[in-house]
Chain A
Amino acid sequence: MRATCLARPLALVTVVFLGVAPSACVTVSPHERGVLAQPEMDPAGDGLEETFHSHIESAREAGFGGHGASGGGCGCG
């Protein structure tokens, strides 16, 4: 297995985490979260649509979709 397989993703996350960490303790008060409560700000809001896109991407791209292990082949891979 090539060392880059997991090392690069780990490095990327580390860099991002270090970038975010300084502001990580800043707490936004509940009364300031009105905008964040909008559906378009909810990362989980696109779940069903993403599942289908992920299935397509798994069948058409080597980089897998990111929604868990595949639930079966689609006969077109």
Chain B
Amino acid sequence: MRRALNILLAALIVALVAFAPGQLTGQVGHAEDRVTVRGNYYRETSTRVLQPMVTFRKELPDERLTLEAEYLLDVISSASIGAGALALGGDRVFTEMRHETSLRASTKIEDWSATAFYRYSTETDYTGNNFGFGVSREFLQKTANVSLSYSTSFDRAFRITNNIGANSPWLSSGDTNLLRIHYLSAGYSHVLTKHLVAGVNLEGIHAEGPQDNPYRRARNGDAEIHPWQRTRGAASVWARYAIPKAKMALEPRYRFYADNWSVEAHAIDLRAHFRPIKHLQMRLRYRYYTQSEAYFWRNDGVWDIDYPWRSDDPKMTHFWSHTVGGRLIWELDGVSKFQGLGWLDGAWIEATYNHAFVRCKELSSVCIDQDFGYGTVRSTRFGDHRIGNLAFSLAF
């Protein structure tokens, strides 16, 4: 009798563990655990980045607790021209690697969601610790969403001082190599009609510490020194509008950015999503970006001798860019119906390509006439660039 009671008690505990989570909320979706491998590629005149990454996501046992782990490797080569790494021996090809690991925990209970993450990044001359949290809540029968997130970084910058990898802390104009960054974001989105969802986002960021490239020299030969503090703000609006008869959705975005280095930027991003057949998603994209120059930028590379700042950073000058791109996602649910391929249910393959045409007007050390294979154009020293991704995601 006692043995039977023990078995009954054990069965009851097992049943509670197995089924209670679903009963508590009454609206828990089935768990979707997923592993995604992705290869990112970036190429410009002087820099090539290969970035393999893997993301593992596990729901325990459902969306009320989701854990995510990610590892990525940045393999950066030929960075010497763009980074102005004359101190390392001039214009020569070199390769460096950056390792990044991230851990993320998130939860969704009823109308509330919360997430927290930690990310660690390390490379030869830079380490980064970044952590943060966010919370969001749905209102009006889940048609409105308000979100708030905060994250902070503690990064350390170093300067490699010889060709066998010795380094020293990079202090810039301060007395520490610590770069502290605080980031705050607030968002609101709303389902406006049965075909239209739209939202607004507001971001603020404050950074204090070395924010210049320790290897780059200004045109007059002085070390690049940027201001120690930077406060940045951005506001963006977006919408997604579905046109079911055309099997497409339109996605316009606009983002305005301003900071206390006098840089103002506008980015307009237009995307069109198509679904020509059931399991194939296509996306076309056009992005226009323009920014003004920082207040300490000088096209002629001449500063007053007692002026504290120097820069040879192409992203501190006025320029604009046009980016065109496309993306294909093949959902493998259809394939999974074949015998032996059931494991592909929920899997997808993604391929993305973007090409950015970067242009500038005033000749300077960073705005020069170049030929990228389609005639001479005036572009920044970074130049036109290509971005590609290949990804495979598997649900299990």
Q: B370 in the interface, Cβ–Cβ < 8 Å?
A: no
Whole-angstrom distance from the CB of B231 to the nearest CB of chain A? 5
Q: B255 in the interface, Cβ–Cβ < 8 Å?
A: yes
- Given the interface pairs A5-B233, A41-B242, A70-B130, the reply to whether A75 lies near B83 with Cβ below 8 Å is yes
Q: B316 in the interface, Cβ–Cβ < 8 Å?
A: yes
Alpha-carbon distance between A66 and B202 when the two chains are bound, in angstroms: 10
**Interface residues of B toward A: which range?**
35 or more
Mark interface residues in B226-243 (1 if CB within 8 Å of A CB, else 0): 000001111111101010
Quick check: A71 and B100 within 8 Å, CB to CB? Answer: yes
- Given the interface pairs A9-B258, A40-B281, A75-B79, the reply to whether A64 lies near B234 with Cβ below 8 Å is yes
Name B35-81 residues within 8 Å CB distance of A: 36, 38, 40, 42, 47, 49, 51, 53, 55, 74, 76, 79
Name B190-241 residues within 8 Å CB distance of A: 190-195, 197-205, 213, 231-238, 240
- Given the interface pairs A4-B264, A75-B124, A76-B47, the reply to whether A28 lies near B194 with Cβ below 8 Å is yes
Mark interface residues in A50-77 (1 if CB within 8 Å of B CB, else 0): 0011001001111110101111111111
Quick check: B235 and A35 within 8 Å, CB to CB? Answer: no
Mark interface residues in A9-22 (1 if CB within 8 Å of B CB, else 0): 11011001100100
Q: Which residues of A contact B235 (CB under 8 A)?
A: 8-10, 12-13
- Given the interface pairs A49-B389, A75-B125, the reply to whether A5 lies near B231 with Cβ below 8 Å is yes
Quick check: A74 and B258 within 8 Å, CB to CB? Answer: no
Alpha-carbon distance between A75 and B121 when the two chains are bound, in angstroms: 12
Which of A9, A16, A76 counts the most chain B CB atoms within 10 A? Answer: A76
Mark interface residues in B171-204 (1 if CB within 8 Å of A CB, else 0): 0000000000111010011111111011111111
Q: For A61, give the chain B residue with the smallest CB separation.
A: B315
Whole-angstrom distance from the CB of B301 to the nearest CB of chain A? 18
Alpha-carbon distance between A37 and B231 when the two chains are bound, in angstroms: 37
Q: B143 in the interface, Cβ–Cβ < 8 Å?
A: yes
Name B119-151 residues within 8 Å CB distance of A: 119-128, 130, 132, 140-144, 149, 151
Q: B394 in the interface, Cβ–Cβ < 8 Å?
A: no
Q: Which residues of B contact A32 (CB under 8 A)?
A: 194
Q: Which residues of A contact B (CB under 8 A)?
A: 1-2, 4-6, 8-10, 12-13, 16-17, 20, 23-30, 32-33, 35-36, 38-41, 43, 48-49, 52-53, 56, 59-64, 66, 68-77
- 15 more CB-based (< 8 A) A-B contacts, given A71-B102, A71-B130: A6-B233, A6-B258, A12-B235, A23-B192, A36-B195, A52-B51, A53-B354, A60-B385, A62-B316, A63-B263, A64-B257, A68-B149, A71-B100, A74-B76, A77-B313
> Would you list 25 pairs from A and B whose C-beta atoms are within 8 A, ordered by A residue?
A2-B258, A2-B260, A5-B260, A6-B258, A9-B234, A9-B257, A17-B188, A20-B198, A20-B200, A27-B141, A28-B143, A35-B244, A40-B275, A52-B389, A62-B259, A62-B291, A66-B236, A68-B132, A68-B149, A68-B183, A70-B128, A74-B76, A74-B123, A75-B98, A77-B83
